[in-house]
């Protein structure tokens, strides 16, 4: 199965493929291990900030390919550039060997978003393309965003003018921690899905209750992104370890003390999205 078929299988069978964002070697290793155990396909999300932190796109492609080989990973792994705001970033990730690209033109004008999305599409060599319209709230790589809802008409128009594979509409989810209960516009999500038949992506998955995530999957979400909850799961376990082991300075022991904390969060989302056993 190629990556497009992997995505369409999720859409047809009404489950969602998780996107777990990675920050370093350990993050990538733990996520690949847990997805292999659970037999779940996965998008490994890389934000521009995380790419810079890890050294660059070539480092990441080499690292992920090495991990897949050495850990005998057999499930579909889509290395995905997350929230790239320029054509150049998308181009560099494609050249380095990423499998999937998100061009996020939501911060500029609607016309520019369409224009650059099409430029990126023309440059691709078989990669999947995700675009965002409206504005997802919260913070991405430390930059705050105002929430701006996507309308059905806007989604239809954008899709008719671009040749994307996945659309991320802004329907109430936010990046990072929610203030109060998440209010996700599931009815608009369903209408966009029914009218356009486009695989939809849910950003800001962390903090959305299980029942809403499940309904989102039934209403057209084929890929759901998680970052903050993985970090929180890892952080809680590491804090506990450090408090009880103040004299341990071996970085392998400190960093890996968060392994199960992170893996438990990923396992839980795989179950909720219904992607367990789908690889
Ligand atoms: O693109 C990445 C995400 O949408 C993750 O959001 O940190 O709120 O889970 P989150
Ligand atoms: Zn996002």
> 175 in ligand 1 pocket by Cβ < 6 Å?
yes
Q: Catalytic positions, please?
A: 82
* Higher local confidence (pLDDT), 149 or 255: 255
The protein residue with its alpha carbon nearest to ligand 1, atom 6, reads: 204
Q: The domain spanning residue 251 has which CATH number?
A: 3.20.20.70
> 82 in ligand 1 pocket by Cβ < 6 Å?
yes
Flag whether 241 is in a domain. Answer: yes
Flag whether 278 is in a domain. Answer: no
Flag whether 163 is in a domain. Answer: yes
Predicted local distance difference test score (pLDDT) of residue 144: 72
Residue 278, pLDDT > 90, answer: yes
Confidence label for 3 from pLDDT (cuts 50, 70 and 90): very high
Number of domains in the chain: 1
Residue pLDDT, tens place only, 192-207: 999 999 999 999 999 9
CB atoms within 10 A of CB 33: 16
Flag whether 215 is in a domain. Answer: yes
The protein residue with its alpha carbon nearest to ligand 1, atom 2, reads: 225
For 35-60, what is the mean pLDDT?
Answer: 98
Q: How far is the CA of 15 from the centre of ligand 1 (A)?
A: 18
Token digits of residue 111: 């016309």
| Cβ–Cβ < 8 Å for 57, 98 | yes
Cα 144 to Cα 179: distance, rounded to the nearest angstrom: 14
* Higher local confidence (pLDDT), 190 or 141: 190
Range of the domain at 60: 3-273
Give the pTM: 0.96
Q: How far apart are the first and last CA of the chain?
A: 10
Cα 218 to Cα 207: distance, rounded to the nearest angstrom: 19
Torsion, Cα 20 26 31 34, to 10 degrees, reads -160
> 205 in ligand 1 pocket by Cβ < 6 Å?
yes
Q: How far is the CA of 14 from the centre of ligand 1 (A)?
A: 21
Predicted local distance difference test score (pLDDT) of residue 1: 80
* Higher local confidence (pLDDT), 258 or 147: 258
Q: How far is the CA of 49 from the centre of ligand 1 (A)?
A: 13
Flag whether 115 is in a domain. Answer: yes
Flag whether 279 is in a domain. Answer: no
For 173-186, what is the mean pLDDT?
Answer: 90
Q: Which residue has the tokens 């998955």?
A: 205
Residue pLDDT, tens place only, 104-156: 999 999 999 999 999 999 999 999 999 999 888 777 666 677 778 899 999 99
């Amino acid at each position: 199965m190629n990556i497009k078929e992997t995505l369409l299988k999720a859409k047809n069978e009404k489950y969602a493929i998780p996107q777990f964002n990675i920050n370093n070697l350990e993050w990538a290793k733990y996520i690949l291990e847990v997805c292999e155990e659970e037999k779940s396909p996965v998008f490994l999300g890389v934000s521009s900030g995380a790419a810079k932190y890890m050294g660059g796109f070539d480092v990441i492609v080499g690292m992920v390919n090495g991990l897949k080989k050495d850990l005998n990973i057999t499930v579909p792994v889509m290395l995905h550039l997350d929230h790239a705001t320029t054509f150049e970033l998308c181009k560099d990730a494609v050249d380095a060997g990423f499998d999937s690209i998100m061009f996020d033109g939501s911060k500029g004008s609607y016309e520019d978003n369409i224009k650059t999305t099409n430029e990126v599409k023309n440059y691709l060599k078989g990669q999947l393309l995700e675009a965002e319209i409206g504005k997802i709230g919260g913070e991405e790589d430390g930059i705050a965003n105002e929430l701006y809802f996507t309308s059905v008409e806007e989604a239809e128009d954008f899709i008719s003018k671009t040749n994307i594979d996945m659309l991320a509409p802004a329907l109430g989810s936010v990046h990072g921690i929610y203030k109060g209960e998440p209010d996700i516009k599931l009815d608009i999500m369903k209408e966009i899905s029914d009218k356009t038949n486009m695989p939809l992506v849910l950003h800001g998955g962390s903090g959305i209750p299980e029942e809403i995530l499940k309904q989102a999957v039934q209403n057209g979400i084929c890929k759901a992104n998680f970052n903050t909850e993985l970090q929180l799961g890892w952080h809680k376990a590491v804090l506990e370890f450090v408090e009880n082991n103040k004299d341990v300075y071996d970085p392998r022991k400190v960093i890996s003390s968060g392994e199960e904390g992170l893996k438990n969060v990923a396992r839980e989302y795989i179950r909720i999205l219904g992607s367990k056993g789908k690889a």
